[in-house]
Structures are given as C-alpha cells and as structure tokens.
A and B are shown apart, each in its own frame.
Chain A
C-alpha cells in the first residue's frame, strides 16, 4: 500500500471515531458528512500522476500521522500580538478549529449583519440552507475539500443582508496551537453577501508553537447582485506547516469580488481558487503573493469561469522563492461561448532568489467567444545585478539593497490590498518573510 493510501485510510478511520462522538447531530448533517467522506475515500490523496498535482508531491504530508487537533488554550496576549498589525478590524478568534468568543473583540455589526461560529449555528439547529455547506465547492473534484466537509464542525459564517455595508474589515484569526503530535484542523468559512451589500474579510491563519500542523480550509462565497466582497487570505503559519485551502465563489450580476492570497509561511501550501462569474457585468480581481525558502512548495491553482457576457477578471500572482523552494502557478481562464465582451487579464511574475529555486508557471486562456479582450503572461527572473550595484554604489549594504529590491517586487500585490491599513500593516511581515527566504539561500 502506498503512503498516500495509508494516509487516506488514516483519515477515514479517524472519521469513524469523529462521527460516533457526534451521534446527536441532525440527520442531514450526518448524511452530508458520510457523502463527503465517501467522495474523499474514492479519490484519496492525489498523486503527482494527476495533472492537477503534477508539481506538488503530497508524500511529506502523507508521512505524518495527522490527528484532529484537540482544544488548546490560547493566550490573549499572544493572540493580540499576532493580530496587532490588523488592529483596525473586528477580531474573531479560533483556536485549533474552535471558535473562542471570549477572545474575540467584535463590536456589533450594522443592519442585522452577522458573523457567527458555524458550531453555534449548527448547535442552534441550523438548516442546510443556513449552513450553506458545499453550495459552491465540488467535493468530487477536490478531495481535500471533501475531507474538510466530512470533518467540518466549526468556522465562521458571515452574512451581510441586502444593502448593508460593513465598513470595518472582519478579521478571522485561525490559530494552530501545536504540540508534539501532528495535528490537523478543517476550518470552514462561509460568506453570504446579499444584493447591494459590502464586506471585507481577512481570513488569517497563524501558528502558535512550532509543532507539526496541517490546516485544511474551505471558503465558500456568494456575492449577490451588485454586492462588493473583498477577501484576504493570510497564510503565515511556521515554515514546517502544511496548508491546503480551497476558495469557491459565485458572483451575481454587477457584483464585485477580490481575493488576495498572501503566503508567508508553510512547508507545503496548495491553494485552489475557483470563481464563477454567473451574472452579467460581474468583476473580479484575483491576486496572490507567495514567498518561500528552504524546501517549501507553494502551489497556486486558479480558475475563473466567465459564463455570461460583460464580465471582467484581473489576475496578478507574484512569487519570490529562495533556497530550493518551489513555486507553482496554474491559472485557467475560461470564456464560455455566450460570454461576449469579456475582459480578462492574467499575469504571473516570479523572482528566484535561490540557485536551486524553481517555478512552474502555466497561465492558460480557453476562449470560446469571439468578441473578447483577453491577455496573459508569465515571467521568471532573478534579482537584477545592475540594480543591486546601483543601490550599493549609493552606500546601501548588499543586504539592504536586496531587501529593497525584493520588497519593490512584492509591493505591487501589497498595494492592491483593500485598504491602506492592511497594506501598511502587512508590510513588515512581508519584508521579514522576504528576508527569511533570502537568508535560507545564503546558508550553505
């Protein structure tokens, strides 16, 4: 039996104990979990023989016997230190996958808007419609999303009613409080923005402690007619952490959505993002910045589906890779036969700092309509020696010069974050991360 199969069976076996302990759950939820587990078991952990996983081996993940994370204490001081750069937000805390309302500092939301814990909603007997599980994610196509659905028990459900604008970003902090034992969490985030509403959500994953951990997150978003949703995913767990995330979005007419994925840590990170532009005149922006050193593997897969006319999509991903790190970008833009007057652009730029760093990039346009404006491109480069010399010739140290150039490269993505407070608040973390990636290159 292969290591991938062994790992699959371990997750399946653990689910038996998990389900047995939740005998009181409503029948629909138990059934939903069973189906999800079956979908996961049928697919198993994908091997590199599968096209979608060609560059990303799951062997290191399969090698660790991950068990569901136990509840763990989370110190308020530590949480506040982690959250400080984003202090302007309402804070919702989760520790090892469980909502911790006593650590949260969220003022009331306007106009009946809500941010509830999924566990609380399910505990109150929420209906399948209210919980909105797997409305937009295809668990047959995404085995890790299926695994998340099988175990999903907590997370955040954000609801913005019709016409309500939530001005302050909602900051969801998911802390992996690790110990000696390899542990996994399956956080779930659901965002439902009704017609004409507006909301910004920062989904922030952090580590407390440096023990082995795995985050397997799923986020589903419905952007109603004319609604505006900004979503920021921060992956800043420690450099040995595993993270798989899946974002699935459905956009209605004249809606606007932006996703900004910042990967600042992790040994193996795989992000899938799928956006369906289902209503005419919808606009989306899909940005990513992934920075890694050592032997980390940072893999981003995106898919934007223009199903109807007059849609706009803008995509910019940038990677900075030191040491022997590996980056993957695969972006697919589909323009369906009916989707005339679509405007789509897609770009992936990569900066290799490490002699052994690598990136595999594949921007992809599939156009079935004839009156569209589409562009795509990818670049891979190294630090410009002339630029380094120029900066040094003005008295800046080689280290400072490299800091400035790498930050300059990353800045374009940072500046596109929703709100100056976020761009500025994350600047230091990005610079520190760039330095780490650089340093790992300099080590023998």
Chain B
C-alpha cells in the first residue's frame, strides 16, 4: 500500500482559546477521497484550518505530516505552494482586487515555487477560459473583484475554479455544499470529480450525506467531540443519514 500523503497522529488543536480537536488520527493516501462528516461543533472546520494553516488555530499536540514533512512548520502560503488547497466554507470578498489578477498571481506564486515559468497574461487567459467552462462560471466574474457581490453558488464555483487552476495535491473542501441548491451542487461536484486523479487526494468535509451522492468517497469518517469516532466505506454515510448523529455521539461519549 502506498505511503499516506497526509497523516495526522493524535492531533490536538485550539481555536479561540478552546481545545477543539482532541486526539485526531487520519491517514489519506494519494488518489483517495475521504469524507469527513460530523455534527455542528465537532471540529470539522478546525480540522480544515489546521491543514491550511490559519494563524488563529494552533496545534498543541500530535503530528501533522504532509508527504513526510511536518506541516505545522509551514506558513499558509508555503502549504499552498506545496500543494494544499482549502475550498472555504465562506469564501471571502476582496474589494478592489480583480478575480483574474488574483488567480494569476496565485498560480504564478505556485509555479515559481515549483521552478516553472510564470504564465503571461495571454497564456493565463486561455487557461482561465478553459477552467471557467469546467465550473460553468460566467467569464465576466473574472473581471470583477474577488467574490464581491457574487451569489452563494458563484462563490463556491469560484473556489472550485481556483482549485482547478492551482491543481493541488491535496484538496480540502470545507462544507462546499452548504447553501447550494441542487443545480449548483451538481455543477460544483462535477468540477470536483473532473479533478479526481490517482495523484490527487481529497478531504470532503460535510454535514450532510447529500454531497456524497455526487462526490463518491473511498472512505467516510465521522467526527464527534474532536475525535474520529467511526470510519467506514461510503455506506457509512447512508447509515448516518438514517440514524442521525445521535447514534455516533453516543459512541463518542461511551
């Protein structure tokens, strides 16, 4: 079996002074898609932030390894350049920064790190055109300020567009389904599925089973009280949908 791309061992993490993750273990191998399900407050977003390196979230104990390296030593931008991508639950509006400009700057930062030539405006435009089609996004949104005035669905599509352009090794999708209607959900999921590959791993964080009808995971975990309390195949998601989170929360307490 291949070595894990991402490995978390007994991870404890605090956010806003409170301990949220309390001994989390997780291993994701190249090409695998893992789903992380759990009730509100179970630590799903904290896990996403631990991986992406949000400064306000601190790992106090345990190990976080990405391709064998200690991830906690890297800044958010270094992680992005190494190939970690977080699709935000709430994408941030950035007034006065054009989407196109931002994406080009981001891609070129990553390419420089990989020792590749930067793309010029023409080449980038061609790439952006191709990728906007993948997420069925209006090209006009490329000229607007990042996420400013975008609908909920447009913001989420913009996240997947960024992911498609940056081509990460590990993509973390934090509740990408929240607030999406069924059409938007299908579009976003199609975009994600198109990016599945034997080299790329994904961690799909969600509250609902619904998303997993579209993005079919290899492994499903249930997070409760800051720990993984159950791991199984995709059928675990259906079981969870049927029995509710009370079922596993009981297991966590016991």
Which residues of A are at the interface with B, using a C-beta cutoff of 8 A? 384-387, 389-398, 400-401, 404-405, 407-412
B81 in contact (CB, < 8 A): yes
Q: Which of B75, B97, B105 has the most CB of A within 10 A?
A: B97
Stretch among B86-94, B218-226, B239-247 lining the A interface = B86-94
- Asked if A394 and B162 sit within 8 Å, CB to CB, the answer is yes
Since A393-B79, A408-B95 are in contact, a sample of 13 more A-B pairs with Cβ atoms closer than 8 Å, ordered by chain A residue number, is A385-B55, A386-B92, A389-B92, A392-B77, A393-B77, A393-B86, A395-B81, A396-B105, A400-B105, A407-B97, A408-B96, A409-B96, A410-B96
- Tell me, in angstroms, the Cα distance from A408 to B145 when the chains sit together: 9
Instruction: Report the Cα distance A401→B109, complex, angstroms.
Output: 12
Bound-state Cα–Cα, A386 to B89, Å: 12
Residue B133 at the A interface, CB < 8 A? Answer: no
Residues of A contacting B95 in the complex (Cβ-Cβ under 8 angstroms): 408-409, 411-412
- Which residue of chain A lies nearest to B78 when distances are taken between CB atoms in the complex? A395
Q: Which residue of A lies closest to B111 (CB)?
A: A395
CB of B68, distance to nearest CB on chain A (Å): 21
Question: How far is the CB of B253 from the nearest CB of chain A, in Å?
Answer: 33
Instruction: Please indicate the chain A residues that have their CB under 8 angstroms from the CB of B81 in the complex.
Output: 395
Measured CB to CB, the nearest residue on chain B to A386 is: B92
Contact between A395 and B77, CB atoms less than 8 A apart: yes
Partner of B96, one of A391, A400, A412: A412
Q: Is the CB of A393 within 8 A of B52?
A: yes
Neighbouring A residues of B166 by C-beta, 8 Å: 394-395
A407 vs B86: C-alpha distance in the bound complex, in angstroms? 25
Q: State which residues 24-82 of B face A: CB under 8 Å.
A: 52-56, 75-77, 79-81
Cα-based distance from A389 to B77 in the complex (angstroms): 9
Taking the closest CB of chain A, its distance from the CB of B180, in whole angstroms, is 19
In the assembled complex, B228 has its CB within 8 A of some CB on chain A: no
Answer whether residue B15 sits at the interface, using C-beta atoms and an 8 A cutoff. no
Q: How large is the interface on B (under 10, 10 to 19, 20 to 34, 35 or more residues)?
A: 20 to 34
Cβ of B8 under 8 Å from chain A: no
Q: Which of B54, B92, B109 interacts with A387 by CB under 8 Å?
A: B92
A408 B91 Cβ-Cβ under 8 A: no
Question: Is B80 in contact with A385, judged by CB distance below 8 angstroms?
Answer: no
Contact A396 B96 (CB under 8 A): no
> Are B106 and A390 interface neighbours, CB within 8 A?
no
Decide: B94 and A395 in contact? CB cutoff 8 A: no
Contact between A390 and B92 (Cβ–Cβ < 8 Å)?
Answer: yes
Q: Select B97's contact among A385, A408, A412, beta carbons within 8 Å.
A: A408
Residue of B76, B81, B93 with most chain A CB atoms under a 10 A cut-off: B76
**Total A-B pairs in contact (CB under 8 Å)?**
80
Contacts of A391 in B (CB 8 A): 94, 102, 106
A395 contacts B96, C-beta separation under 8 Å: no
* Chain A residues whose C-beta falls within 8 Å of the C-beta of B85 in the assembled complex: 393
Query: Judging by beta carbons under 8 Å apart, are B91 and A395 in contact?
Result: no
Residue from A387, A398, A410, A412 in contact with B94 in the complex, judged by beta carbons closer than 8 Å: A387
B 87-125 binary contact with A (CB < 8 Å = 1; else 0):
010011111110000100111011001000000000000
Q: Which residues of A contact B94 (CB under 8 A)?
A: 387, 390-391, 404-405, 408
In the bound assembly, the distance between CA atoms of A402 and B44 in angstroms comes to 28
Using known A-B contacts A405-B97, A408-B97, determine if residue A394 contacts B92 with beta carbons closer than 8 Å: no
Among B53, B76, B80, B96, contact of A407 (Cβ-Cβ < 8 Å): B96
**A394 in contact with B80 given A400-B105, A408-B94 (CB within 8 Å):** yes
> Chain A residue with minimal CB distance to B108?
A395
CB nearest neighbor in B for A400 = B105
Those 4 A-B pairs whose CB atoms lie nearest each other, nearest first = A408-B96, A395-B80, A394-B106, A395-B109
Q: Nearest Cβ distance between residue B128 and chain A, in whole angstroms?
A: 14
List of B residues within 8 angstroms of A389 by Cβ: 52, 54-55, 76, 92
What residues of B have a CB within 8 angstroms of the CB of A401 in the complex?
77
In the complex the two chains form, what is the Cα distance from A384 to B94 in whole Å? 9
CB–CB A390/B109 < 8 A: no
- Within 8 Å CB of B110, what residues of A? 395
B95 CB to nearest A CB, Å: 5
Expressed in whole angstroms, the Cα–Cα distance for A277 and B109 within the complex equals 51
Q: Could you jot down 20 A-B contacts, CB within 8 Å? A: A387-B94, A389-B54, A392-B77, A393-B77, A393-B79, A393-B85, A394-B80, A394-B109, A395-B80, A395-B81, A396-B106, A396-B109, A397-B109, A398-B75, A398-B77, A400-B105, A405-B97, A408-B97, A410-B96, A412-B95
Q: Is B106 a contact of A395 with CB atoms below 8 Å?
A: yes
Most buried by B among A384, A394, A407, A411: A394
Q: How far is the CA of A411 from the CA of B98 in the complex (A)?
A: 11
Query: B77 near A397 (CB under 8 angstroms)?
Result: yes
> B79 — which chain A residues lie within 8 A by C-beta?
393
* Highest count of chain B CB atoms <10 Å: which of A400, A404, A405: A404
A385 to B55, CA, bound (A): 9
Nearest neighbor of B92 in chain A, beta-carbon distance: A390
Closest A residue to B56 using CB positions = A385
Q: Which residues of B contact A396 (CB under 8 A)?
A: 77, 105-106, 109
Return A421 CB to nearest CB of chain B, in Å: 19
Interface residue from A390, A404, A412 paired with B91 (Cβ < 8 Å) = A390
Kindly state the separation between the CA atoms of A341 and B14 in the bound complex, as whole angstroms. 57
- Which of B77, B81, B113, B162 counts the most chain A CB atoms within 10 A? B77
A396 vs B92: C-alpha distance when bound (angstroms): 15
Taking CB atoms, residues of chain B closer than 8 Å to A398 are 75, 77
B23 to chain A, nearest CB (A): 26
Nearest neighbor of B76 in chain A, beta-carbon distance: A392
In the bound complex, residues from chain A placing their C-beta under 8 Å from that of B52 are 389, 393
